[in-house]
A and B are shown apart, each in its own frame.
Chain A
Amino acid sequence: MFSQFNQIGPLLTMGLQTLPQRKGSSGVVVVGSAGVVAVLVSILAISTGLDHTMRGSGRDDVAILLSAGADDESESLVSHANYDTIASMREVAAGADGKSLASPEIVTVFPVKFNKSADEGNVTLRGIALQGLALHPSVRITDGRVFRPGLTEMLVGSGVASQFQGFAIGDPVRVGNSVWTVTGHFESDDIHDSEVLADVNTVQSATDMGSYYNALYVRLKSSDELQAFKDAIGSNPTLHLDVQSEARYFAAQSAGLSGGLTVVAYVIGVIMASGALFGAIHSLYISADVRKVEMATLRALGFSTSSVMLAFLIEALVLAFVGGCIGAALGWLLFNGHTASTMSGGLSQVVFHLQVPLRLLVLGVIWACAIGLLGALIPAIRSSRQPVAEALRG
């Protein structure tokens, strides 16, 4: 066993030193695994980025209340009377001014022209109470000021401002029959970045919602209160509301969109990896054929068959590893932070940034190594079975 390790060192050095003589077949392994990894990493970067944005900064101590049975905010309807009941509940935290941290919210979408084309896309307009800003702490105002209650003023997310026409501060924005004024811009690295925020009562009258809202957001005194809060609402016969933590709600919203994309990434990844694997087997066959005499000579000189084989495997692994690193680096350079947008469930646009975290890079390199090892295995076994004398004849 010890002698084996002694043998592999020089064999490997020799193999790697003669690599330039086998540019073709070693290039195939490098390029193949680089391609697979680049593709896998970039598709997973889409779903990772989308998932990050959709889940956003969903918190465990913020509860979202929807009418019973509603899957998302736009389907839900909550009355003003329900809001009053909820806001006065014991589990609800109070803000600095002593008012309870509860925000009744209305979401609606309106059509706007894109920046770069004549097409129209949908933007989400979210009506919030002023204390709603404390409930959505991810919102950071970068420019201008907050809307004033009772006025048709709006605060615009950076995703909306960058993607659509006419959202500079002071610009008039037409939503149906009313004209709104942009008073400020904000950034948030979650779904709100693709939204426009305004006063909920103004939105309520603009959308003919009467005394109804779509959803209630409530900050609890602590996340431990969630169960008690749920129980209290469940036992109140006047309330037909579903309660869940904001974190859970957004995770569920995300699963539908980015979950499908992750499946697509793996399906494409597996098909492509199998194509690359066949290619790698093929070129390593060629490489083993070309080096038949060389390897037989080594065995005749006294190197053990298994160490010759192992050196061949490790060499392929090194090539695939290098390819995998190149592919992962390519995916990272091209797509990390790349801004993309797509349509979310409610037909409105979500702007998000592609993300290539370390775990994706590691995953990619592992796939590459697997391709290298599997690709080298059959050619290595085949050449090791050849009798030395026969192989020496070439």
Chain B
Amino acid sequence: MKYAYLVWRSQWYKPGRTVLTLLSMVAAFLLLGVMQTVGYALSHPAPAFGSDILAVFNKASYSLPLPYAYRHIIETMPGVSMVSVGSHVSGYYRDPKNSLTADAVDPAAFFSMRGEQISVSDESLRTLEATRTGAIVGPVVARKYGWHVGDRITLHANASYIQRNGSVDWPFTILGIFTVKESSATAQLGSRVVFQYAYLDEARLLNQGKVDLFMVKPAVGADAEQIAQAIDARFANSSHETRSTPLRALALTILKQFGNIGFIIDSITAAVLATLAFMTGNAMMHTFHERIPDFATLKTIGFSSRLLALLVVAESVMTCALGAAVGIGGAYLLSPLLKNVLHVLDLSPIGLLPGLGFALILAIAVALIPAWQAQRLQIVDALSARH
């Protein structure tokens, strides 16, 4: 520890150069950090996807509906604790540029299942259940359009959501705004407009008695995978076969479909690192080389060869640690920004760890040759700069 100051001072042997080395290292580790977080996120979906809740879709295509009547059959199956339905009406609000989708759900089941991520007051939930055209909206969409409780809004729906009276305009009264408890769920849930499935089904012309999907919550201790198989087996060979997947697995499948772009991102990361490691490594080695007479002086006043080698390694580790800390720290600060863009992803700081490991490897690799040179240094030759 007593050599820390010596290492720190020799680090700034030529401050301009040290700053340049640090800056290019910061750029390298910033990129590494960002790429690693995205890479990690691509294989680890956000917890907002709700671990073992099952989504039950039409097997032929998730864009085709299922009969509502399935709900009662699924509810009586062993291990099932709760079933919620989901259908959506998509269209726009005021201007075709503002696309808006409203979800027709069973309000009580919906908010109970999403209880870990969002919460709503009991009072607004009760009013929603009593008001046919009522809606509870997310904080993000409410802020975007300046909606308040009591406002009446109209969703201009696409033609497929035409009503029996011939209109595609769906009026809603805003009864409440829910709060998002878990920040990683904001992008996914914050813009939801939730209303009663009963309203949708009695008003619409097409697809009556159908839902887009069921959400099934397994009872505590029940195996989600087994329930999924049981549901699919129950409806096999029926007119509407089902495909049940735990939300977590579903998210993983979706992420995997980003496909082999992942491979390209990996090769790019490797190229970035190799390039910048070569550049900074070269510069640092040069600096050590210039200072060989200094090392000779240290040796003359009694520093052992081994200590000298260690000091060289320590200095290199210090430089790399500094550059890596600032770069990876920057990537960490940037991750909330990325989170808004890639909202499916869980940008966990765990993704940053490999970067620190790489910094250590780089530090030791760069210091290896100079440390070896410092150790076998002949004082007389070095002092006369005949190295």
Query: Which A residues have a C-beta under 8 Å from some C-beta of B?
Result: 24-25, 27-28, 31-32, 34-36, 38-39, 42-43, 46, 67-71, 74-78, 108-111, 117, 119-122, 175-177, 206-208, 210, 212, 240, 260, 268, 271-272, 274-283, 285-286, 334-335, 338, 340-343, 347, 349, 354
- Cβ–Cβ < 8 Å partners of A117 in chain B: 256
A38 to B272, CA, bound (A): 9
- Which residues does chain A contribute within 8 Å of B276, judged by CB atoms? 32, 35, 272, 275-276, 279
Question: Does B158 reach chain A (CB closer than 8 Å)?
Answer: yes
Q: Which residues on the A side are within 8 Å of B159 (C-beta)?
A: 67-70, 76-78, 240
Q: Mark B138-179, 1 if CB is under 8 A from A, else 0.
A: 000000000000000000111110000000100000000000
Interface string of B256-279 (1 = CB under 8 A from A): 111111001001100110111011
**B89 CB, nearest partner CB in chain A, Å:** 11
Select A275's contact among B23, B157, B283, beta carbons within 8 Å. Answer: B23
- Report which of A70, A260, A283 forms a contact with B158, defined as CB distance below 8 A: A70
Q: Which of A24, A74, A121, A341 contacts B63 (CB 8 A)?
A: A74
Residue in A32, A108, A354 whose CB lies within 8 Å of B275: A32
Contact partners of A274 in chain B: CB under 8 A: 23, 27
Are B261 and A28 in contact (CB-based, < 8 A)?
no
A349-B257 contact in complex given A70-B158, A274-B27, A276-B276, C-beta closer than 8 Å: yes
Stretch from B46-54, B71-79, B91-99, B222-230 at the A interface: B91-99
Query: Taking the nearest CB of chain B, how far is it from the CB of A113, in angstroms?
Result: 12
Given known A69-B92, A279-B20, A343-B257, contact A75–B158 (CB-CB < 8 A): yes
What are 14 A-B pairs with beta-carbon distances under 8 A? A24-B286, A42-B267, A67-B160, A77-B158, A77-B159, A77-B160, A119-B256, A175-B60, A275-B26, A276-B24, A286-B17, A286-B286, A342-B258, A349-B259
A28 and B279 form a contact (CB under 8 A): yes
Please measure, in the bound complex, the distance between the C-alpha atom of A25 and the C-alpha atom of B283, giving whole angstroms: 8
At the interface, yes or no: B348 with Cβ under 8 Å from chain A? no
Q: Which residues of B contact A38 (CB under 8 A)?
A: 271
- Which residue on chain A has the smallest CB distance to residue B157? A69
How far apart sit A28 and B24, CA to CA, in the bound complex (Å)? 12
Q: How far is the CA of A42 from the CA of B265 in the complex (A)?
A: 10
Q: Is B280 at the interface (CB under 8 A from chain A)?
A: yes
Check if B259 sits within 8 Å of A109, measured CB to CB: no
Give complex CA distance A175, B257 in Å: 20
Closest to B239 in A: A177
Q: Residues of B within 8 Å of A, CB-based: how many?
A: 58
Contacts of B26 in A (CB 8 A): 275
Q: Tell whether, in the assembled complex, residue B261 and residue A208 are in contact, meaning their CB atoms are under 8 Å apart.
A: no
The interface of chain B, by Cβ under 8 A from chain A, is 16-17, 20-21, 23-28, 30-31, 58-64, 90-92, 96, 99, 156-160, 168, 206, 239, 241, 243, 253-254, 256-261, 264, 267-268, 271-272, 274-276, 278-280, 282-283, 285-286, 341
Known contacts A177-B241, A278-B27, then 19 further A-B pairs from the complex at CB < 8 Å, ordered by chain A residue: A24-B282, A32-B279, A35-B272, A38-B271, A69-B156, A70-B159, A207-B61, A240-B168, A271-B30, A275-B26, A275-B27, A276-B27, A278-B20, A278-B23, A279-B20, A283-B282, A285-B16, A340-B264, A347-B62
CB distance from A116 to the nearest CB of B (A): 9
Across the interface, B31 reaches (CB within 8 A) one of A34, A206, A275, A282, namely A275
Report the Cα distance A278→B156, complex, angstroms: 54
User: Quick check: B253 and A272 within 8 Å, CB to CB?
Assistant: no
In whole angstroms, what is the CA distance A260 to B276 when docked? 26
Is A281 a contact of B20 with CB atoms below 8 Å?
Answer: yes
Chain A residues positioned under 8 Å from B267 (CB to CB): 42, 334
| Closest residue on chain B to residue A287 by CB atoms | B286
Could you say which residues of chain B place their CB within 8 Å of the CB of A341? 259-260
Nearest residue in A to B159 (C-beta to C-beta)? A67
Q: Which of A76, A121, A207, A280 contacts B64 (CB 8 A)?
A: A207
When distances are taken between beta carbons in the complex, the residues of chain A under 8 Å from B286 are 24-25, 283, 286
Determine the chain A residues whose CB is within 8 A of the CB of B58 once the complex forms.
Answer: 176
Q: Which 4 A-B pairs have the closest CB atoms?
A: A176-B60, A35-B275, A275-B27, A279-B279
A71: which B residues are within 8 A, CB to CB? 99
Q: Are B253 and A31 in contact (CB under 8 A)?
A: no
Supposing A31-B278, A69-B158, A282-B21 touch, asked if A272 and B261 sit within 8 A by C-beta, the answer is no
Q: Is the CB of B23 within 8 A of A121?
A: no
A340–B265 Cα distance when bound, in Å, is 12
Contact partners of A70 in chain B: CB under 8 A: 158-159
Measured in the bound complex, the distance between the Cα atoms of B280 and A286 in whole Å is: 12
Whole-angstrom distance between the Cβ of A375 and the nearest chain B Cβ: 10
Q: How far is the CB of A236 from chain B (nearest CB, A)?
A: 15
Bound-complex Cα distance A75 to B89 (A): 10
Smallest CB-CB separation from A163: which chain B residue?
A: B259
Residues of A within 8 A of B274 (CB): 35
Q: How far is the CA of A282 from the CA of B276 in the complex (A)?
A: 12
B158 near A76: Cβ-Cβ < 8 Å: yes
Task: With both chains docked as a complex, state the minimum distance between the C-beta of B297 and any C-beta of chain A, in angstroms.
Answer: 20
